[in-house]
Structure 1
Amino acid sequence: MKRTIMLIPVSKNIGLTTISLGLIDFFEKLKLDIVFFKPFYESRVSPINLDDTSFILNKYFSTPFINSSNINQKFFILEKLKKKYLLKKSISLYLNYKKYYDILLIEGIKSNNSEYNSIHHLNLDLAYHINSDIIFILSNDKSYNIDFFLNKIKNLKIKSNILGIIINNIFLNYQEIYIKNIKKNKIYKNEFENTNHIPIIGNILWNKDLVFFPIIKMFQSFQVHKIVKINFNVNLVKLFILYNDLVFDYKIDYSRSIIIIPYDIFLKKFIHIINKKLDYLNFYAVLLTNVININQFQCSCLRKIKKLKISIFYTLLNINVIRYIITGFNLSILEYNYSQIKQSNNYIANFFNKKYILSKKLNTQNANYISSTSFIHHLKIHARKINKCILLPEGSEIRIIQAASIVHKLRIARCILLGNIYEIHQIALSNNIILSKNINIIDPIYIYSHYITRFMQLRYKKGITQDLAKSSIYHSNIVLGSLMLHSGEVDGVVCGVKYTSFDVLRSAFQIIGTNKKENISLVSSVFFMLLKDYVLVYGDCAININPNAQQLSEIAIQAADLSKHFGIEPRIAMLSYSTGLSSQGVTVEKVRKATLLIRKKRPDLIVDGPIQYDASINKSIAYIKSPVSPLLGSATVLIFPDLNSGNITYKAVQQSSKINSIGPILQGLTRPINDLSRGASINDIVYTIAVTAIQSNQKNIL
């Protein structure tokens, strides 16, 4: 079983570290290999600069964790850039580890404010991009309504699979829980368990035996002053007893506790009780509240206090404020030792619902998609592994030079620039581009004559002469580059920022040709559209002007196979201006016939058409327009009926959404040549080089 689970805290002070450690203990008892990951966290003062959970795992346990300290130390002025950086680096770390473990447990970041929307954007974005299950962590705070929480989830339109909720009851009224624990030893029931929306997979009962308060920090919070301090050598306190004019219960064990009581009640009643039962009560100290005039108080009862032989402290705060501070105090597990942490882990692990946590229910929200960030990560990693040689015929173009420099730095491919060596170096120098010595620059004038004979052999049926062959190669780097590819000297060719698509395609057809082994009769193209949340494949948006039904079916099949090659599950939408039988027309009938041909040729593919764009990618609209469609709004490969609609749409989406698109990626050629849009960005070129390198390799990216 391989799965990723992300814990997302709903508010502060909910014992997140304690829950994470308890879950780790739970999985390890099931003999599952688990790795812990805290992708983002607030820096803490530590010799090894780790988050709290990783710090404890490193100090006391052998459970592996992913050290993300290097991505949390980088400073950003703009929060938007910081978020983008954190997501990118976190996804990269995650993908490097996920295949080695049964469970990858991720601990989300806690919020610094009470606004739910702002709390979870970073956590939810990561969960979506890595297709993680989500567990929300709540505290049983009576001021936090479960219906409010569920409405917030609904409004956020969470795309990840919500596995369930864990409720930590640690911050209930301490005296109330103390008494309840004596009466029963079972999970505390509350209104959260009545919800049918999300399963409760853990409802953790506060346990008095596991809680120790660091007394110095607590007293600082209470603004405490001493009156009498007798043998008070205490670091951790077990329990605070809020005695607010209640009937004193002698049946409760008050050892290792501090009594918090208004000083007027202390004087009138409690001081006499202590005198009678002092040996039995055995508490650490008394904290008096509402002490406004300490001098008057000391004069009136100093003698009585000294007779008690216990430590007495006071604060100006009233008992309700003290109660609020206690219930909101962050009990740091870092104060504990190994035996206490181990005891806590064992206790908490018993509260988790094994059935729900180990449920193999798939994330139906986005299981069909791959996020843009993950897609780019896979491109870089896979291209780096196969280390292919890519030729760039437009070597003197500034964007090509910049892209080649980046590709070399990222080790995506070995680039060759075609062009005048001196000119290329001058362009790089004047634009502050660092060109590594390992980037090969070849001047065409010194090598073009080597390929004249080969070109004549390839084009002999067309009656090409030596002079015409020589002139074609001499005046066109794309022809020369295609011949180098045909001879096997390079693995792929990328160009198009200067040459037109017609130039690129003509060279590809004349020299490389279609893949006869796979019975491919035409060359088509696709674009990888790197949208905000996922990657879509558009085809054909660059080559075939008005394909017939047969050609349209072949374009769709080529696009589906290429999608698989790059880790995208192909779910094909054959696009039209109508859905199903809602309209008639020549174009609609062409799309309908092409869809039937695909089903006949490749029954293994999921395809529907004719279908409108909105119904193909929007689940809500799909249920209205096409409720019986096998796509149900989750198409990943979108095939346009003609070049006009495809080219307009891809450019409209790219420019309006300000996204990167990779392509056009040519399909059906014997060896990979890829065309660039003349408006291609540096990133577009870099990614196209990576795609071309992977196309030249037979193994799938995933």
Structure 2
Amino acid sequence: MKTGIYITNTERSTGRSIVSLGILKLLLSKVSKVGYFRPIINDYPMGKRDNHIETMLSYFNLDMEYKDAYGFTMSQVVKYKNLGQEARLIDQIIGKYKELEERFDVVLVEGSDFDGKGVAIEFDLNVEIAKNLSIPTILISSSHDKEMKDAVANLDLAVKTYAENDVLIQAVFMNRVPENDMDEMRKELLQVIPKETYIEIIPEVKGLGSPTVREIVEELDGVVLYGEKLLCRQVDRYSVGAMQLRNFLDRLTENTLVITPGDRSEIILGALQANVSTNYPSIAGIIVTGGMRPEEQILKLIDGLSSIVPIIMVEDATFITAQKISNVKPQIRPGITRKLDLSISTFEKYVDAEHLIDKFRSFKTDVVTPHMFQYNLVAKAKAKKKHVVLPEGTDPRVLLAATSLVDQNVVDVTLLGKREDILIQASKVGVKINGNIKIIDPAKSENYEDYWKTYHELRKHKNIPEEMAKEALLDVSYFGTMMVYKGHADGMVSGAAHTTAHTIIPALQFIKTRPGVSTVSSCFFMCLDDHVSVMGDCAVNVSPNADQLAEIAISSAESAKAFGIDPKVALLSYSSGTSGSGVEVDKVKAATEKAISLRPDLKIEGPIQYDAAVDPKVGKSKMPNSEVAGQATVLIFPDLNTGNNTYKAIQRETGALAIGPMLQGLNKPVNDLSRGCTVEDIFNTVVITAIQAQEDF
């Protein structure tokens, strides 16, 4: 099964690389094809690449290109946010991840670094990405430079924040813990972290918490005078050589980086001699400051030494140099195999790998976000591309949606209307109609005569004269519907500038209903924060009787199933079970009985109140033996007044995305838009129309 693992952290410098490297090696021992993806990376100067990506691709020899391993830079993220286009950003991240998911058995996803211009938004952004990818999530934190209680509280708050956003953390790692505190740290975490969450403690590893000389050189933009091949040396501390040599030597410790002005030759030579002496510790290197190269005699002396360390010259003064070095954060980099090997061996030493893998294997989630649902719809439409006709070719919203659909290769599109009028409107809204979008003027169409004659034949039992048939087929709604009837298009979407009746009547006249269906109805896909509900009928039938309501329930259940939603059908009323009575309750009760008799394979409950249908606690209280109460995914309203107002109230008050209405019961798909629809509404309705037109619908 294609899947992924998301690793993110609570703050910067948590030691996340230990976990990422360890898990990637672990995955490669279980499956053959592993991918790597970073949704957000920092901004880098031209020609410089992200260290995490470079390291993972090169060290593990992953079969993928650098450009495919990340989504966006942080500056791009900030730009999207400033433009109010966060939703578009998430959609594109999902799309990039899904492309990798298709190519690999498992994709390891790594969150952002909490570094640079996006720090203020990164935590929320990582939560949003985790939620929308809906894959097992690992949260990394650190106790470095913190009191234990503060470190525990920080991780506890992060886990709860993710949970509040419907992300259940599968595993937490507390890194950089003093070795003597590891047992106590585990006890503290067990008291606050949910028991089903895997907890691991990794101690502070000195070799991983220290930068290399190379990292410092890059940060300082220094010039390497000596020791180019020794830049991988570890720097555990630095010491400024501004005192007399005898006092300075007493301050040297193992892996010290010496910082001194370039004219302090006695410090430079003393440090080099101390490095080779058995009486003093080895140093990591020497930084000479102020842009002062040591004197020629000193350089000549150094050239003659049999053993040296890296010597770097920088332009900054000594104090500024020391400040910059103190801010250098160690990173995992390509080619520094000592650190990479140490990271992996540390992971393997402290982590129960098999237990962790079992957590990933057992991961299940019912969370379906609006972004996920939309992505899945588009992917399904693309898989078997269909042709949709849009009669309202001059409407600016239709033009914008049509070009977007074609640019993304979702469907083939035909616009109806006069070519010159459509091109003028397209120019006004800034879109270009190219050869990928077909334009048909009904009056000039080569099919016009065939269409009106077919209509006349189909309606002759209604004594429709030829002139009326000719006039009807000049109407874009009739012409578009006839294209669908004839198989010249797979579906039609209209209603942005026409009434519902104008869209539906032609379909009822000659496309007609599917076998066994007598009631054309509609449903909406209500995309709430963490799930999608199907709601019907909210657009067509004003006051359906019990038989019609039963048919609406069955049609809506079939629609849910076709779009990947497990149908649990609730026929709504103002009372639950046998608690109330009245004409409207009796109607819903009769409809429920009829629906169950027609489709005993479906889970159907009614009459039931809205809260009992969707809230598990209320459902269990009011109808404890029901398979639907508290977990309904298909909500059937007793009349149009209730349905239309309820879906609009939910949409406005919660910000939920409502996709539809989608008409149910016709032989071929024709769907109606609201005259207040947005470009996104048109886009989504065309997508669901294309899916309806697919053979496996």
TM-score range, shorter chain: 0.7 to 0.9
The reply on whether 1:651 has 2:648 as its aligned counterpart is: yes
In structure 2, the CA distance between the partners of 1:441 and 1:630, relative to structure 1 (3 Å rule), is: same
CA positional deviation for 1:435: 1.7
In structure 2, the CA distance between the partners of 1:632 and 1:340, relative to structure 1 (3 Å rule), is: farther
1:191 counterpart residue number = 185
2:143 counterpart residue number = 140
2:299 counterpart residue number = none
Give a deviation string over 1:171-208, Cα, whole Å, max 9, x none. 64xxxx5xx7xxxxxx9433234544343443223445
CA positional deviation for 1:667: 0.8
Give a deviation string over 1:274-319, Cα, whole Å, max 9, x none. x9xx7366443899xxxxxxxxxxxxxxxxxxxxx999xxx999xx
CA positional deviation for 1:369: 4.4
Give a deviation string over 1:137-179, Cα, whole Å, max 9, x none. 012334233245324533551312211111222x64xxxx5xx
In structure 2, the CA distance between the partners of 1:30 and 1:155, relative to structure 1 (3 Å rule), is: closer
1:175-190 alignment, distance < 5 Å: 188-190=182-184
Partners of 1:347 and 1:526 in 2: how far apart? 55
1:663-702 alignment, distance < 5 Å: 663-699=660-696
2:374 counterpart residue number = 376
Partners of 1:221 and 1:117 in 2: how far apart? 24
2:30 counterpart residue number = 30
- RMSD over equivalenced CA pairs, Å: 4.2
2:156 counterpart residue number = 150
CA positional deviation for 1:135: 1.0
1:542 counterpart residue number = 539
Conserved? CA contact 1:575–1:639, under 8 Å: yes
Partners of 2:17 and 2:481 in 1: how far apart? 58
In structure 2, the CA distance between the partners of 1:33 and 1:429, relative to structure 1 (3 Å rule), is: closer
Partners of 1:361 and 1:576 in 2: how far apart? 41
1:306 counterpart residue number = none
Given the two structures, how large is their TM-score scaled by the length of structure 1?
0.77
Unaligned runs of 5+ in 2: 221-225, 240-251, 259-273, 287-307, 311-316
Of the three residues 75, 92, 97, the one matched with 2:95 is 92
In structure 2, the CA distance between the partners of 1:688 and 1:368, relative to structure 1 (3 Å rule), is: same
Conserved? CA contact 2:536–2:635, under 8 Å: yes
The aligned amino acid for 2:567 is P
Of the three residues 569, 574, 581, the one matched with 2:571 is 574
Q: Matched residue of 1:665: which SS? A: strand
Unaligned runs of 5+ in 1: 181-186, 223-229, 244-253, 261-274, 288-308
1:44 counterpart residue number = 44
CA positional deviation for 1:78: 6.1
CA positional deviation for 1:106: 1.2
2:171 counterpart residue number = 164
Partners of 1:496 and 1:190 in 2: how far apart? 65
The aligned amino acid for 2:91 is K
1:351 counterpart residue number = 350
CA positional deviation for 1:457: 2.6
Of the three residues 102, 112, 123, the one matched with 1:120 is 123
The aligned amino acid for 1:478 is S
Q: Matched residue of 1:652: which SS? A: helix
Partners of 1:310 and 1:443 in 2: how far apart? 80
Conserved? CA contact 2:527–2:658, under 8 Å: yes
Conserved? CA contact 1:579–1:612, under 8 Å: yes
The aligned amino acid for 2:350 is F
Q: Matched residue of 2:138: which SS? A: strand
Conserved? CA contact 1:211–1:238, under 8 Å: no
CA positional deviation for 1:643: 0.9
1:189-228 alignment, distance < 5 Å: 189-196=183-190, 197-198=193-194, 199-208=197-206, 213-215=211-213
The aligned amino acid for 1:470 is K
1:56-95 alignment, distance < 5 Å: 56-64=55-63, 67-69=68-70, 71-72=72-73, 74=76, 76-77=78-79, 79-80=81-82, 81=84, 83-95=86-98
Give a deviation string over 1:489-516, Cα, whole Å, max 9, x none. 1111111123321222221111101111
Conserved? CA contact 1:208–1:239, under 8 Å: no
Partners of 1:570 and 1:44 in 2: how far apart? 48
Moved more, 589-598 or 478-487: 589-598
Give a deviation string over 1:225-256, Cα, whole Å, max 9, x none. xxxxx99997455574899xxxxxxxxxx994
1:299 counterpart residue number = none
The aligned amino acid for 1:683 is E
CA positional deviation for 1:649: 1.9
Conserved? CA contact 1:133–1:163, under 8 Å: yes
The aligned amino acid for 2:142 is S
Give a deviation string over 1:331-365, Cα, whole Å, max 9, x none. 2122752354234324323433222432267666x
Partners of 1:334 and 1:68 in 2: how far apart? 16
Partners of 2:139 and 2:535 in 1: how far apart? 36
Q: Percent identity?
A: 29
